[in-house]
Structure 1
Amino acid sequence: MSFDEAIKVGDQIFNLDEIQVVIDVASLNYLNGLRVDYSEDLMGGGFRFQNPQAIATCGCGNSFSITSQ
């Protein structure tokens, strides 16, 4: 996940309350059904991702695998 300054042709835009989420078309299939939440705990705050398509995740939570379609 990163912040980008420009919206490119073909990007999908989702407006969620006061937040605008922009996803490139190549990533849409990987993110179908994704749930994003922000929470804080004793280790600090951060985004939490729940992807029903994920069949494997790394220990750090930064990458995942899905079944090929």
Structure 2
Amino acid sequence: MVIHLTDNASMQIKEMMKEESADAVLRFGVRGGGCSGLSYSLGFDNEINKALDIVEEINGIPVAIFNQDIPVIEGTTIDFKQNMMGGGFSIDNPNAVFSCGCGSSFRTKENVGTPGDC
């Protein structure tokens, strides 16, 4: 398994998937940008490219990941935390050597990315 979803994250994602089409998958990956150089990408997708993506079922949720993102996110845990101000996903990436205060921008030892706005 490339990534891990906590029980709380899985419950939240399954609830959100009820609003999506039947063939939707959760897509997780990275893109350039953010104040540290890389930003996480988390959302739903209806298109899978078998040459570029892997799809794993995690806790009953189909998760698509671009092959090129695997070295950057392997071992990442996605959680969902609820508090008085609402709730949100948190991402714990063991490959990140630096994360900024916004929590969605990071860099790894091998991949600094291109910093942009947070």
Provide the TM-score with structure 2 as the length reference: 0.54
Cα distance in 2 for partners of 1:52, 1:31 equals: 8
Secondary structure of 1:30's aligned partner: helix
Residue 15 (structure 1) shift = 0.5
> For structure 1, which runs of at least 5 residues remain unmatched after alignment?
none
Cα distance in 2 for partners of 1:58, 1:19 equals: 29
Residue 2 (structure 1) shift = 2.5
1:15 and 2:57 are equivalent in the alignment:
yes
What are the residue-to-residue correspondences of 1:47-62 with 2, within 5 Å? 47-62=89-104
Where does structure 1 differ by over 6 angstroms across 4 or more consecutive aligned residues? none
- Larger relative contact order (C-alpha < 8 A, sep ≥ 6)? 2
CA RMSD between the two structures: 1.4
1:3 and 2:47 are equivalent in the alignment:
no
> For structure 2, which runs of at least 5 residues remain unmatched after alignment?
1-41, 112-118
Aligned residues with identical type, % of pairs? 33
Match of 1:64 in 2: 106
1:40 and 2:82 are equivalent in the alignment:
yes
Determine which structure has the larger helix proportion and give its number: 2
Aligned residues: 69
Provide the TM-score with structure 1 as the length reference: 0.86
